[in-house]
Structure 1
Amino acid sequence: MRLRFILSEIGIGLRRNLSMTISVVLVTFVSLTFVGAAGLLQLQIGKMKDQWYDRVEVSIFLCPATSSAPTCAGGVVTDAQLADIRAALDAPEVAPAIEEVFYETQEQAFASFQDQFQDQFWASVVTVDDMNSSLRIKLTDPTRYDVVADVVAGRPGVETVENQRELFDQVFLVLNRATLLAAGLAAVMLLAAVLLITTTIRLSALSRRRETGIMRLVGASTLFIQLPFMLEGAIAATVGAVLAVAGLWFGVDVVVQDWLGASLTWIPYVSSREVWTVAPLLVVVAILLAGISSVVTLSRYTKV
């Protein structure tokens, strides 16, 4: 009997404030979509770091004949200079940080260049002498780039030292800033959702003030009086959370996996599994929104 009465009161409240309820659903949907997007972006960054950082290489570009760098004043790197660089890499304080060293000749670099840019008209004017021979170093720990760079940078025969991780970090910086933007928008929208849920509950409570007064007179408990209003907000917020999960699933499955995945196959993308990982968090946030709004509102507007 009590359950039937509570369900009846919930139905009445939702019908009386239908437009406000729809607004709560939509605002909750948008705000939790931003929350979910921020979470998925962080999971995406984690997947990319796990895969890319393991492949990070340090590239020591050796002097070609045409370089104007001060360390290349003697022209193309000599065998003696190359031997000195290799000896520095074999030093006891450096060797433990190095997993593998691969030497790429100018001819190999030129062949790779031609394969990559053979369709470009300007590639035909580049010669073997313009290319850098290089030492490609795979590190045991990608964070120890400085150990290698410090001992070879500035040595005769070394034009530049480049760390691939720096390129990756720039990508991750952009993604992290996108996460902060999504989180900022989510915070604003969550505040709007709280205010809207509070307003909806207040209007519902005011429209049924007479009924709640009668219930108080016949001895109904505070929880029994307030429960229908709390459930109204919780239902609207939960529907918004379900829509947010559906929207995120559609975005990941169709936009990320099918569209981006078909064109950029070298990136490890988040999948629907990550969406289901984030989904419980969104539902919990939705329930907390409704709970906070209910506590703030009902203590005042259901007093008789």
Structure 2
Amino acid sequence: MRLRFILSQVGKGLTRNLAMTVSVTLVTFVSLVFVGAAALIQTQIGNMKNDWYDRVEVSVFLCPPGEAAVTTCAAGEVTDQQIEQIEQVIHSEALDPYVDQVWFETKEQAFEAFQEQMPDAPWTQSLTVEQMQESFRIKLVDPEQYELVADELSGRQGVQEVVDQRALLEPLFLVLNRATLLSVGLAAVMTLTAVLLITTTIRLSAMSRRRETGIMRLVGASNLFIQLPFMIEGAIAALAGSALAVLALWAAVEYLVQDWLAAEFTWVQFVDTADVLTVAPFLVGAAIVLAGISSLVTLGRYTKV
């Protein structure tokens, strides 16, 4: 009997304030979409770092012919003796704990790689093997230790430049991190809006049912029994918003990320629907907490005996 009464009160509240309930659902939906998007972007950053940081190399470019602008190349093209000295430094006791693998790329190999990477560029047809430069490719045990290797090799005779490929990825990660911050900021604003809407909806519902609430107080109903219908109303609206948010994120990842981006950029490990399902419980939990806090703040004032 009590359950039936509570459910009837919930139904009355939802129908009486249908427009506000829909507003709460939509605002909760938008705010949780931003929260979920921020979580998925951070997951994507983690995937890319784990995948790409394991592949990045330190490239030690040796002096090519006619490179006199760099002090270490003032004597001209790198000599065999200088190449041997640089290789000894790479394999020295100082760098050995940080170096995983080393490859030496000849002019011929550099020319072939360049032709493969840019086959359609017209100006590449004028390049010759002799214009290419030799280099060492070093894979580190820990890519974060790049500075130690660069300090040992930079400034040595025959070395034109030491390049960390990871530096090419940092701008991308910076953009993604800023997108995360933007999503979090928008989520915070929309969450505050959702809280205010939920409290307003519950307050209007409580005020419209002051007569029923007064009767329930007279017959000795507890605060929990009086407040429970209002709390359920807020929870239903918030949970509906969270369900819509999960559905929207799932659709975006499935059709936009997997069917389009993943097909175009096969070398990138994108987030998938499994990641959305991992985030989903947290979004549902956030909706429950959101509704619970809003209900307690409002009901404590308008329905407490």
TM-score band, normalised by shorter chain: over 0.9
Q: Distance in 1 between matches of 2:40 and 2:100?
A: 33
Q: TM-score, normalised by structure 2?
A: 0.97
Alpha-carbon distance, 1:100 to partner:
1.0
Deviation at 1:289, TM superposition (A): 0.7
- Asked whether 1:191 is paired with 2:192, we answer yes
**Alpha-carbon distance between aligned partners in 2 of 1:244 and 1:130, rounded to the nearest angstrom:** 56
Q: Is the 8 Å Cα contact of residues 66 and 130 (structure 1) preserved in structure 2?
A: no
Shift of 1:275: 0.6
Identity of aligned residues (%): 63
Give the secondary structure class of the aligned counterpart of 1:95.
Answer: coil
Shift of 1:142: 1.2
What is the letter of the counterpart of residue 32 of structure 1? L
SS at match of 1:154: coil
Shift of 1:171: 1.6
Match of residue 34 from structure 2: 34
What is the DSSP-based 3-state SS (H/G/I as helix, E as strand, rest coil) of the residue aligned with 1:103?
Answer: strand
Q: Which residue of 1 aligns with 2:224?
A: 223
How far off its partner does 1:118 sit? 2.0
Contact kept in structure 2, 1:198 and 1:294, CA below 8 Å: yes
Range with bigger deviation, 274-283 or 42-51: 42-51
- Please give the secondary structure, in 1, of the residue aligned with 2:268: coil
Say how many residue pairs are matched.
304
Contact 1:28 1:193 in 2 (8 A): yes
Structure 1 unaligned regions, length at least 5: none
Matched residue, 1:58: 58
Query: What does residue 140 of structure 2 align with?
Result: 139
Give me the whole-angstrom Cα distance separating, in 1, the residues matched to 2:70 and 2:94.
Answer: 27
Distance (whole Å) between structure 1 residues aligned to residue 131 and residue 293 of structure 2: 67
* Residue correspondence of structure 1 range 104-183 to structure 2 within 5 A: 104-183=105-184
In the alignment, the residues of structure 2 paired with residue 112 and residue 164 of structure 1 have an alpha-carbon distance, to the nearest angstrom, of: 16
1:66: how far off?
Answer: 3.0
Offset of residue 4 of structure 1: 0.5
**Aligned positions of 1:3-82 closer than 5 A:** 3-67=3-67, 68-82=69-83
C-alpha displacement at 1:298, in angstroms? 0.6
**CA distance in structure 2 between the aligned counterparts of 1:275 and 1:303, rounded to whole angstroms:** 40
Whole-angstrom distance in 1 between the partners of 2:301 and 2:38: 35
Residue 234 (structure 1) aligned with residue 244 (structure 2): no
- The one-letter amino acid of 1:237's match is A
Partners of 2:122 and 2:50 in 1: CA distance: 38
Matched, 1:271 2:272: yes
2:213 is equivalent to residue 212 of structure 1:
yes
CA drift of 1:132 comes to 1.7
Whole-angstrom distance in 1 between the partners of 2:255 and 2:45: 19
